[in-house]
Structure formats: structure tokens, C-alpha cells
Amino acid sequence: MAEAVIRRLLADDDTSAFRCGDPEYDLFLQRYAGQNQDRLFVGTTYAALVVPTVVGYVTVAVGQLDRDEIPSESRRDLPRYPLPVLRLARLAVDQAYQGRGLGRRLAAYAFAVALQVRETAGCVGVVVDALPSRVSFYAGLGFTELELTSGNSAIRPQPAPMFLPIAVVDAACAH
Amino acid sequence: MTQISAQVSASAKQLLDDFSAVTGLKKNRIVEDALWFYVRARQELPESAMVPPRMVLSERGAAAVERSLIVPPAPTPALVRLMQTTEPPDQE
């Protein structure tokens, strides 16, 4: 089976045969990922391709962590809110390519994008919307569950938002 | 023209003030444009296709995030292995 290449989703990429096992993720790729990216500018999708066919994708968007009440005392060691983050909102792999490490490659690619965003626009960490079946995978990478009062994903089953500081990703690359 | 008023979070007001100062745009123009963009996006996308850009932390959640930013943990062996095999993102 040919090795997939990863790059930004293009309008001509063939998504019609994509089947990951969750029709909602298939529909998102086929109908909404392109317009999210190219018309509404609310998220970017990186596709894993066996050209011209998309066999996996990861969708990321810039976001921010905030808190309702900013502490009144000014502590120099506290980060300044809102905190810019890169949110990994969706990741899916075609059933024919599952079990070959492609999901891991897509996740790593998104983390590398977060490192770029840190340099160009600021980014303190990665937030991943982890499906219940993937929480242990991301926990193994060092992600911890976030307690949010709003801003949860509307995907069902509801993913768990998990956070990893960008400094940890950077340290992993430098190892 | 008509007038509206709304209760918003302190950070939302700060965002509006900062963006207005940086761009020179009047605040009413920013609010009106943002509303049109938002409503248009919501009309074209189902809720599940939207990625909420703002996540509000609980007090306990904020404390945990702050701790991890001030003293980041060491990367796990699984993360180190993952990032050693990563290809650089394209530069588009």
C-alpha cells in the first residue's frame, strides 16, 4: 500500500470515497472541511493523501483559553489571559488505512503546526477534543483533561477537551 | 442606525478595545461585522462542524493549566517517540 503524504487540503482532493467508520466525520470532510477552510476561515484541514485520494485528515483551529474571573491580584508568574492555543478538533483515518500509524502521523503533524503557530502568532499549548476511545492515547502523550465551563465541542459522543503545553511538545522534539 | 447594549465578559471587552486600537476601526463597525460573519457561518454550518474558538476554564481548570505552563512536565516517552518521526508541516 502506498505511503500517504500529508499537506493542506485542496479543493481538487478526492474525498468522495472516504469512510472512517463514523458517518459524521466522513460528512464533515466531504461537505464542510473545505468551506470551513477556504470560505469561512474558521479552521484548516491537513489531509493525508494517496494522491489524489484523501485517506485521513486532521482539522485544527486557533482558539483561546479564558476564565470568567481574572484574579484581581497581579501575579507576575501567572500567564496573561486569554491564552492562545491550537485546537485539534477532528482527526479521522479511512478504514482501509487504520492500524498503520497514520492517525499518529496526523496528530504529530498537527503538533508541529502548533509549534509554527507559536512562532508566528503565539500559542501556549494544544487542546485536543479527544473521543472517549482516544483519551488514553492522548493521556499517554502527556495531555491532561481540561475543565471547561463553556466552549465544549458539539460533536457526539462528546469529546473530552485535553491540554498539553507547547513547551512540552518543543522539549519532545529537542530530545 | 439604532443602539444596543449587552453584558459581556471582561476579556471580550478587552478584545474589542484592543482590536479597535490596533486596527483603528470603530467598535460599532467591529461588532456589526463580527455579527454578520458569525450568523453567516452558523447558517452554513451545522453546530457540530463549528469549532468553538473560546474555551472558558473553571477555576480548578485554570489552576491546572497555569501550573502546567509555569512548570511544564517532562515530555512522556510516547510523545518523544511520536515527535522524532514527524515530518515538517508544509509552508503554505
φ and ψ at A149, to 5 degrees? -100, -20
Chain A, residues 36-55, CB within 8 A of chain B, namely 36, 40, 42-43, 46
Q: Using DSSP bridges, classify how beta strands A160-165 and A44-50 pair: parallel, antiparallel or unpaired.
A: unpaired
Active site residues of A: 138
Q: Which amino acid is at B41?
A: A
Cβ-Cβ contacts under 8 Å, B50 against chain A: 42, 154
DSSP symbols for A83-125: EEEEEEEEEEE-GGGTTSSHHHHHHHHHHHHHHHHHHHT---E
Q: How far apart are CA A126 and CA A114, in angstroms?
A: 7
Q: What digits encode the pLDDT tens for the residues A76-90? A: 666 778 899 999 999
Out of B37, B45, B82, closest to residue A104 by CB = B82
Q: Report the complex ipTM.
A: 0.88
The alpha carbon of residue A27 is apart from the nearest alpha carbon of chain B, in Å, by: 10
Span A11-23, average pLDDT? 93
Q: Is the pLDDT of residue A144 over 90?
A: yes
Confidence class of residue A75 from pLDDT cuts 50, 70 and 90?
low
Q: What is the dihedral of CA A70, B11, A146, A168, to 10 degrees?
A: -90
Q: What digits encode the pLDDT tens for the residues B33-53? A: 998 888 877 777 777 777 788
Terminal Cα distance for chain B, rounded: 42
Q: How far apart are CA B78 and CA A129, in angstroms?
A: 19
Confidence class of residue B32 from pLDDT cuts 50, 70 and 90?
very high
Span A110-132, average pLDDT? 94
Look at A112 and B64 and tell me if their CB atoms are within 8 Å.
no
Total beta-carbon pairs less than 8 A apart between chain A and chain B: 187
